[in-house]
Amino acid sequence: MTPGAALHRRLLTLDAHLDAPVHFARAGWRFGERHALATDVAQVDLPRMEDGNLSGGFFVTYVRQGALDMAGYAAALAAAHRRSGEIDAVLAAYPDRIELATTADDARRLHGEGRRIAFKSIENCYFLGEDLDLLDEFHRAGVRMAGLVHSRANQLADSATDAARWGGLSPLGAQWVGKMNRLGMVIDASHASDAAFDAIIDGSVAPIVLSHSGSRAIHDTPRNIDDGRLRALARTGGVACFATIFLSDMHAGPERARLFDLHGRISDLAPDEQADLARRWAALDMVEPMWRASLDTFVDALCHVIDVAGIDHVGIGADWDGGGGFPGMADITVLPAITERLMARGLSEDALAKLWSGNLLRVIAAAQSATVAGGA
């Protein structure tokens, strides 16, 4: 074992945005079993977490956004309840291997016990509708991080990838920031527009995160963050968790779009349809990967973010099972190679411990301390 691989094996490693729950209700699929990319599209399972020493991360409740009306909110809320319950059921099936964490101390305890760590998060609070008290319910269910918005503007905020509706946050979105602070939940600004990000930074009494975002200086797209806002995030104690997405243009032709739609609905597919999706996905990746990047591209871009924000304000949020990954960095088994390359760039063990989990755990603790102090 190389020195880098040995160090990676010792580290507590967290990913801030794991879309693995999209697979949890699939017929015939088990999180505790090993899956191969040649026959399955999943990038995260317990055996591969052990192989790549991914200690854990934030398992995402995400549902598709519908109409901004009561019927749309109600349908999405029902889907969110199902997804949150699916996460709970999977964790309950493997109590000796993985457990829900709700605090930074929980994560450290589980790491010491040799078990994997599952935080719960929300991507896109659209399904709350106009009832912010629903956040209390999801907090009781273990959720400790949430983001306002996804790829389209909603009743709370503008999206980075849609026309502005509010010029940042809606009045309800501004109330959401205060509610999150009072509950001690970490605010995730990934997918938010620049104006919404600025308003969140100004309005939150606790540091925030970007759970899966990239650098606009490396690849110019609204979905990534510019260097000025990276510095603002650092000044306020936040953490930018670096993603594998948008290191290049997204190559999403008609076939990729069809497959991506099926991927989002994979739990509705029969096992033979799931296998066909995996076959078609792997074949397309051979011809036209969704992202034209490499492990060296990723490390170069990550080092730029570290240079801009400082090592105390960067983490990892690759967007596994949500569109992340590329040839050479296709699933979580590659994680030790990232540590090896960063060691070769001169990062110390202390710096790597901050990057892989320390910074994120600090923000979790800070958000919970803010609510103890009274919040906003």
60/178 Cα distance (integer angstroms): 22
Q: What is the CATH number of the domain that holds 349?
A: 3.20.20.140
Task: Name the residue range of residue 263's domain.
Answer: 3-372
pTM, to two decimals: 0.96
pLDDT band at residue 376 using 50, 70 and 90 as cut-offs: very low
Residue 374 confidence (pLDDT) above 90: no
Torsion angles phi and psi, residue 258, rounded to 5: -65, -45
Residue 102 confidence (pLDDT) above 90: yes
176/171 Cα distance (integer angstroms): 9
38/31 Cα distance (integer angstroms): 17
pLDDT at 372: 56
Number of domains forming the structure of the chain:
1
pLDDT digits (tens, 9 = 90+) for 26-76: 998 999 999 999 899 999 999 999 999 999 999 999 999 999 999 999 999
pLDDT digits (tens, 9 = 90+) for 109-143: 999 999 999 999 999 999 999 999 999 999 999 99
Percent of the chain with pLDDT over 70: 98
Residue 324 confidence (pLDDT) above 80: yes
